[in-house]
Amino acid sequence: MKKYSTILFLSLLLININLFGQNSNAVKSDERIIKVDYNKSAGKLNTMFKECIGAGRANEGLRADWQQQLAMAKQECDFKYIRMHGLLSDDMAVYREDSNGNPEYNYQYIDALYDFILSIKMKPFVELGFMPNALASGSQTIFWWKGNVTPPKDYKKWEDLIRNLTQHFKERYGDEEVKTWYFEVWNEPNLSPGFWTGTQAEYFKLYEYAARGIKSVNPAYKVGGPATAGAGWVPETIDFCTKNNVPLDFISTHTYGVKQGYLDEFGTSGTVLNKEDSSISGDVINSRQQISNSAKPKLELHYTEWSTSYTPADPIHDSYHSAAYILQKLKQVGNAANSMSYWVFTDIFEEPGPRFTPFHGGFGLLNTQGIKKPAYFSYSFLNKLGETELQNNDKSSWATKNAKGDVQLLVWDFTNTHPGDKVWNQTYYVQDLPSQPKGTLKIEVEGLKKGKYNLEIYKVGYKTNDAYADYLAMGKPSQLSREQVNIIKQKNNGALWATEKVTIDAKGTYSKDFKINENDVFLLNFVKL
């Protein structure tokens, strides 16, 4: 985390003292104070939260509705990169062999997908997987769409495929563009059975051949891994690459916020949201420490998957609780990661097969119809922050300013209300869960320039930008009519919750009290007129 100056201080308290680990008799126990000063900067805002976003598989990216949703998410959340599975799977028609066993390559589907991604000013975070069937050593697959998870029958042919594909990217998009991409080898090879039928040694061999194929096209292209589940194999990967002189430009791995398991292929597991305060962030900070203590201490760290839960059928993904959770974990991570890629942007996602209901606990920030879930607003609100962070010791807020003189304060309460190990997320978060009061939030902003401001207030919380609550109120229909979709979208569009005309005098101070409830999120934007 950044070390903020002790010159700027604040007192903060909630009923749930453990959330912040601070106490003071000088303030009422139900009052939390956030005090910031326009003139006290903490430097450039770290925007690792929007560096990358996940998507299910490459073939889904050829759908018009997927592309429409991604374009909207780019515009409103400004994600820079997108990562997905299945780029080399047979439904992308990349690889086959003729009757003599000679490789034939085809990139027409990849071109259509990547041309679109680049057209909306995003970049691919290239996950190299899974194995084309004609190159596979076995028939084991994962997911409804049958991604082949076996090692190659011929590692030289695997290297040739990766080299040929990389050369194609160079010729189509140019060196300067491809230099900005990331090439990640495979997905979660430490889950065997699951995503890889081979050993760790065989994964390292797969990685080595792929890395050499990429670097043979241009040594400046970035390659990394091991893209593991549960923050695994980080020291081992660095050790292997160091000892064998194998290229390694970044570490990637994954973490999820539930207590048990790493894989729920068909969405049938029961999960429990972890009560530990260090859930998610503990893994990220530990990975950064492992890198720092290694032979390659300056490697970038990319968490290419993270979320509350690893299953595509966990209703916490749809719940208003997710919005505050996402912000809390990103804040806790601080500067430990170069990117935190939320898994995923849309419920157009077919790992367990096409979903049969509009809300089913899918990973997406958006549901299949493009309805914005509460989690979506975590990212759209973050994207409204200014480029300069202000000093702020509060552990559940960001304060920023922009070049125009506007000030932004994004503040939330995260309260884990889950009842504990005996209750699954799948039975808890499907309920109507009214949010309980958490006392008073007092905002104090000093150093503001004299003049008139519009104070724009945005909110997400229980029954505010809470699409699942509206779905519940409709009786959870298995199918939504166009009218029902439009009603839910209109009620959950992230529009201004309130506005206030503010006049700042020569003292330059603004203060306001809010009543805040569990898992409320507020964005205050002071717009200088």
What are the catalytic residues?
188, 305
> Cα angle vertex 436, ends 432, 441, to 5°?
135
**3-state SS assignment for residue 287:** helix
In three-state form (DSSP H/G/I as H, E/B as E, the rest C), the secondary structure along 76-119 is HHCCCEEEEECCCCHHHCCEEECCCCCEEECCHHHHHHHHHHHH
Phi, psi of 70 (to 5 degrees): -65, -40
In angstroms, the CA 511 to CA 34 distance is 10
Determine the residue type at 400. Answer: T
Give the separation between CA 493 and CA 272, rounded to whole angstroms. Answer: 30
DSSP-assigned states of every residue in 389-440: EEP---TTEEEEE-TTS-EEEEEE--------TTS-HHHHTTS--PPPEEEE
Q: Residue 266 gets which letter from DSSP?
A: T
Amino acid letter for position 69: Q
Cα dist from 311 to 97, 458, 472, whole Å: 36, 30, 21
Q: Is the distance from CB of 311 to CB of 321 less than 8 angstroms? A: no
Residues in the chain, overall count? 529
Query: In angstroms, rounded to a whole number, what is the distance separating the alpha carbons of residues 4 and 324?
Result: 23
> What is the DSSP code (8-state) at residue 231?
G
In the three-class reduction of DSSP (H, G, I as helix; E, B as strand; rest coil), residue 489 is classed as helix
Query: How many DSSP H helices and E strands does the chain contain?
Result: 12, 22
**Which residues face 305 on adjacent strands?**
254
- Amino acid making up residue 396: S
Kind plus residue range of the DSSP H or E element containing 512: strand 510-517
Surface-to-core class of residue 116, CB atoms within 10 Å of its CB (0-12 exposed, 13-18 middle, 19+ buried): middle
Closest CA to 123 of 247, 222, 210, 229: 222
User: Are 338 and 301 within 8 A, CB to CB?
Assistant: yes
Phi then psi for residue 487, to 5 deg, are -60, -50
Sheet holding 521-528, edge to edge: 41-44, 388-390, 397-401, 407-412, 521-528, 451-460, 498-504
Residue 8 neighbours by CB distance under 10 Å: 18
Contact present, 2 and 334 (Cβ < 8 Å): yes
Do the bridges between strand 52-57 and strand 397-401 make them parallel or antiparallel, or are there none, so unpaired?
unpaired
Residue 323 phi/psi, 5° resolution? -60, -50
